[in-house]
Structure 1
Amino acid sequence: MLELMLINVRKLVSILLLIILPLLLVMVSPETAIALIQQQEEAPGQILYKSRHSLRDHQGNSWQVILFKRVKNGEVKDVSLRLVGFPGSVTFNHPEPLQIVFSNGRILEAVDEFGEKAPGPNVGQYDLTDILPKISQADQIELNLSIAQTKSAIAVPSPVVLEWKAINSPG
């Protein structure tokens, strides 16, 4: 009986370790953010690095937030942030800039890359080439979106900022 209980306890401990250990690794290790970066070859000599997250704005609406960097023959061509809201529920005010608001009140504006030629009214894309180097890994930032219905803001979690910084690093 005691032997059977020990086997069950060992199984329970093993299961708990399998569940808890990966969670601890994600929470503790900054390298895990880097592992989420996707890399694909678009053409010979042209690589696209991409980070994709589903984040919620302060009203609870879900957004796809995609940062990507395009490198051609070792030279960075662009670093852009694409924001995609639920179709039919949001319309971006093109060509309004994206405001990036820091916790200390500083505001940077990213240029709308689509202007009037967005693939859909619920899609915005902004140039972060010159802005991302000004954001540190420790910064807490919020994206203020200019959409037709109302002002909307998305808080960007620190692990996502860390991932963006990893994408923007040389290479």
Structure 2
Amino acid sequence: MLRRILKIFWWLLLLGILTIYIYLGLASFTSQQVIAAVIQLEEAPGEIVYRSQQKLNDNLGNYWQVVLFKRIDSNSKKTSSINLRLVGFPGSQELRHPLPLKITTDTGKVLTAPDIFIDEAPAPTIGQYEFKDVLTQLPTQELLIGIPVGKQQLINISIPEYVVQEWQEIALKS
């Protein structure tokens, strides 16, 4: 009798686990990406950092961490920098330094952001670009970012509208 009860218990447990896996699998196909909030950090005494961080894939299918951050001196209320950092996950191509980042708006307007890592980046798949002048010129629609990987080669990352809106929110922070 005990053996039969244990057998039924294990079958019910297996059925429950299988149901959860199926449910989670189907939910991932139907759920929309969650909009992340802008994060505020105190990096050092008197220095506030506002940050938007997303994981997006490029046109080759590789994932990148896309982080826009703004540093503000809380005493003087002056913005010291606004940068866009791109970090390639394993398998991503190496970035070409010091080539600028190419930003294309939905209207076809092309903007460039200078590379901050002029001499050497911390890793071959990391790039950081000065975004202070670019951010004020961006519309709130979807963007296409071209990351330089060769003299004439670019990897493209599509930046969704909600991410651009987060970036605009960071631009307004003081």
Q: TM-score range by the shorter chain?
A: 0.7 to 0.9
Identify the residue that residue 127 of structure 1 maps to in structure 2. Answer: 130
Q: Give every structure 1 segment of 4 or more consecutive aligned residues whose post-TM-superposition deviation is greater than 6 Å.
A: none
1:131 and 1:76 map into 2 onto residues whose CA distance is 15
> Contact conserved, 1:99 with 1:107, CA < 8 A, in 2?
yes
Q: Which residue of 1 aligns with 2:145?
A: 143
Q: Secondary structure at the match of 1:162?
A: helix
For 1:143, the aligned partner's letter is I
Q: How far apart, in 2, do the equivalents of 1:55 and 1:87 lie?
A: 14
Q: Do 2:56 and 2:66's aligned partners in 1 also have CA atoms closer than 8 Å?
A: yes
Sequence identity (%): 39
Between the aligned partners of 2:173 and 2:56, the Cα distance in structure 1 is 26
In structure 1, what residue type is equivalent to 2:85?
R
How far has the Cα of 1:60 moved from its partner? 1.1
Select the structure of larger CA radius of gyration: 2
User: What's the TM-score once normalised by structure 1's chain length?
Assistant: 0.76
Report the Cα offset of residue 112 of structure 1. Answer: 0.1
Paired position in structure 2 for 1:80: 83
List runs of 5+ in structure 2 lacking aligned partners: 1-26
SS at match of 2:163: helix
Give the structure-2-normalised TM-score: 0.75
Q: What RMSD in Å do the two structures reach over aligned CA positions? A: 2.2
Question: Partners in 1 of 2:127 and 2:46 — Cα distance?
Answer: 27
Paired AA for residue 41 in structure 2: Q
The Cα shift of 1:45 comes to 1.3
- Work out whether residues 71 and 79 of structure 2, in 8 Å CA contact, stay in contact via their aligned partners in 1: yes
The corresponding residue for 1:166 is 169
**Contact preservation (8 Å) 1:102, 1:142:** yes
Counterpart amino acid of residue 71 in structure 1: I
* Residue 37 (structure 1) shift: 1.1
Name the CA distance, whole Å, in 2 between partners of 1:51 and 1:37. 5
Which amino acid in 1 is paired with 2:100?
A: P
